[in-house]
Amino acid sequence: MTTEAKVGAFVLGCFSVLAFTLIYLINAQLGVHAIPYRTYLRYAGGLEPGTTVLFGGIDVGKVTAVRPAAADPTRIEILLEVKEHTPLNEKSVAKLGLVSVMSGAALSITTGSNDAKRLVPGSTIPSQEAASLDEITGKMAVVADNANGLITEARGELQGISEDARTVLANLNSVTGPPNQRKIRDLLDNVDAMLATERPKIDRLTDQLNTLSQHADETIQNVNGAVSDVREPVRKDLAELQDTLLQTKRLLADMQVLVKANDYKIDDTIENLRTATENLDDLTESVKQRPWSLIRIKQPEDRKVPK
């Protein structure tokens, strides 16, 4: 085989590989089914056809159209297509986002909830408005104005604080100046002289306090000994009193038993006393009516009147 034939075969092989690759890519592109959805925003800065659609930060599709809504021109209608089996649900929220800090705008969709119902193709994705650049700029201007006011106030307060600090330093200088230092030195000298004069008295007072504390310790020990000596007889007396109370309790219990045992006899005695009392009452009444009955059985006859 000549060199020209080899080169021709090599070129044909390269063309075959390139054609196979193009066919594979075309089939792969045509094999991906895109599902259409739509959403609405008040501000769609940077969104245009071909803008990336992110689902939880993952590239799942493209924006196909950005236009004012026909029913409400104050809202921007955004048409998009996402890959098949993308789990968009009723809790998913579409909003204006960024792929990265250095890249352009993107349409970001949150993952929502696994328990929420899946969105059918062609339905509307709930949206959330993002702050526009103008709003952010306005807020930053307000913050800058407030910061300027705070800085002005802080400068005034710092000036007042610095003036107060200067006053305090001046007072400290006057307090720690030579006149006050001499006064403090004189005061310390007087204190040293007074301590030197009164030290013997303080020593004598200290000795007396020590002696008094020793006597107090001896007195406390004597009291403790006396209490210990008295405690034992008192304890014995208490023990004897306890025994006496126990004996008294037993005696009362025996008396209760005796009274319960002779209860019927006491009733008979009371009944006999009642009968004797009634008989005595009858006798007394009889003596009052017939006193002669004490010496005679029969009443004497009446005396006859002499003729």
Element (H, E) at 127: none
Handedness of CA 66, 72, 75, 81 (dihedral sign): negative
Element (H, E) at 7: helix 3-31
User: What pLDDT, on the 0 to 100 scale, is given for residue 4?
Assistant: 67
Angle between helices 178-261 and 263-289 (to 10 degrees): 70
Q: What is the pLDDT of residue 31?
A: 46
Residue 194 burial (CB < 10 Å; 0-12/13-18/19+)? exposed
Please give the pLDDT value at position 291.
Answer: 66
Question: In this predicted structure, what is the pLDDT of residue 175?
Answer: 65
Assess contact for 82 and 118: CB atoms under 8 A.
no
Instruction: Tell me what pLDDT residue 105 has.
Output: 85
pTM above threshold 0.85 = no
What does R_g of the chain's alpha carbons equal in angstroms? Answer: 63
Q: Residues near 66 by Cβ (< 8 Å), separated by ≥ 6?
A: 44, 47, 48, 49, 51, 76, 77, 78, 79
CA 95 to chain centre: 40
Q: Which residues of the chain have pLDDT under 70?
A: 1, 4-7, 20, 22-32, 99-103, 131-137, 175-177, 227, 263-265, 291-307
Where do the DSSP E strands lie in the chain?
34-41, 52-55, 58-68, 76-83, 94-98, 105-109
Amino acid at 282: D
Tokens 């969104």 belong to residue: 47
How many CB atoms are located within 10 Å of the residue 64 CB?
Answer: 17
Q: For residue 61, give the nearest of 94, 90, 91 by alpha carbon.
A: 94
Residues ≥6 apart with Cβ < 8 Å to 93:
109, 110, 112, 125, 126, 127, 128
- Name the residue with tokens 């005034």: 156
Q: How far apart are CA 220 and CA 228, in angstroms?
A: 12
CA 255 to chain centre: 67
* pLDDT given for residue 133 in this prediction: 58
> What pLDDT does 62 receive?
93
| Per-residue pLDDT at 32 | 54
Burial class (CB in 10 A: 0-12, 13-18, 19+), 98: middle
pLDDT at residue 117, as a whole number: 92
pLDDT score for 195: 76
